[in-house]
């Protein structure tokens, strides 16, 4: 092979390699389905100064403020202090009622006031029992009124007012308001006790008067009927 032929072969090989290099990118692009690969260089990402500035004090200012608010809320909902002002009235009312019904009550009313029955020839003991029971009942009613008056004069709700108005804690205010509601309920109990006292007095008075008239009528009937009642 002459030198001329060798040069021709080398030139042909160079042309073939150049043609292959030019044809390769479109073929590779077609094999990737036409999607171009994108390479992101970290140094090329742009920063957001506003976002970064809003986060600079999250540890020193924002988070402590949030924690402080949550702590204040927890203290407000868990700190007591508005209780202890209410005094139950059940014991006092029970004592008043026990004294009031000691003489005349539903158990012995029919015995004290038998109604339409002739008086016996010797009625002084029976009349003494009736008059004594009635008078002691009236006296006990007066004692109940005086006891309630003393309790009324000693009432003072300023402590509840101070506890409710002078606190910044929710639980304390709720407890103070509950104490105020209980005091209202206690006052209603006292009113009911006074109503019971009035009923006792009116019932005793009416029973005594009706019994007196009935026995008087029965005695008259017996007197004019040969000692018997029809």
Query: For 159-214, what is each residue's pLDDT tens digit?
Result: 888 888 888 888 888 898 999 999 999 999 999 999 999 999 999 999 999 999 99
pLDDT, position 207: 96
pLDDT band for position 129 (cuts 50, 70, 90) = very high
Q: Tell which wins on pLDDT, 11 or 141.
A: 141
CB 178 within 8 A of CB 85: no
* Tally of CB atoms within 10 A around 201: 19
Supply the mean pLDDT for the chain: 80
Query: For 54-101, what is each residue's pLDDT tens digit?
Result: 667 676 666 666 767 777 777 777 877 777 788 888 899 999 999 999
Go through 32-65 and write b for each residue having 16 or more CB atoms within 10 A of its CB, e for each that does not.
Answer: eeeeeeeeeeeeeeeeeeeeeeeeeeeeeeeeee
pLDDT at 29 over 50: no
pLDDT, position 10: 54
Coil, strand or helix at 66 = helix
pTM of this prediction?
0.64
Highest mean pLDDT among 29-33, 123-127, 226-230: 123-127
Where is 141: in which H helix or E strand?
helix 124-153
CB 76 within 8 A of CB 174: no
- Domain ranges for the chain, please list them: 82-103+120-223
Cα dist from 226 to 86, 114, 189, 210, 223, whole Å = 67, 22, 54, 24, 6
Distance CA 106, CA 114 (A): 13
Greatest CA separation for the chain = 184
């Amino acid at each position: 092979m002459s030198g001329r032929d060798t040069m021709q072969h080398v030139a042909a090989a160079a042309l073939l390699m150049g043609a292959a290099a030019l044809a390769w990118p479109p073929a590779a692009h077609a094999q990737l389905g036409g999607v171009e690969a994108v390479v992101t260089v970290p140094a090329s990402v742009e920063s957001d100064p506003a976002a970064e500035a809003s986060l600079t004090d999250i540890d020193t200012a924002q988070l402590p403020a949030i924690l402080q608010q949550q702590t204040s809320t927890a203290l407000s909902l868990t700190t007591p202090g508005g209780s202890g002002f209410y005094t139950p009235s059940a014991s006092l009312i029970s004592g008043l009622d026990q004294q009031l019904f000691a003489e005349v009550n539903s158990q012995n009313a029919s015995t004290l006031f038998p109604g339409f029955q002739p008086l016996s020839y010797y009625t002084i003991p029976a009349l003494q029992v009736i008059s004594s029971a009635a008078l002691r009942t009236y006296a006990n009613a007066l004692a109940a009124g005086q006891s309630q008056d003393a309790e009324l004069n000693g009432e003072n709700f300023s402590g509840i007012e101070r506890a409710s108005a002078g606190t910044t804690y929710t639980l304390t205010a709720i407890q103070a308001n509950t104490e105020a509601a209980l005091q209202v309920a206690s006052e209603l109990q006292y009113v009911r006790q006074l109503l019971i006292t009035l009923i006792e007095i009116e019932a005793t008075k009416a029973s005594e008067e009706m019994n007196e008239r009935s026995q008087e009528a029965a005695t008259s009937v017996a007197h004019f009927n040969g000692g018997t009642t029809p």
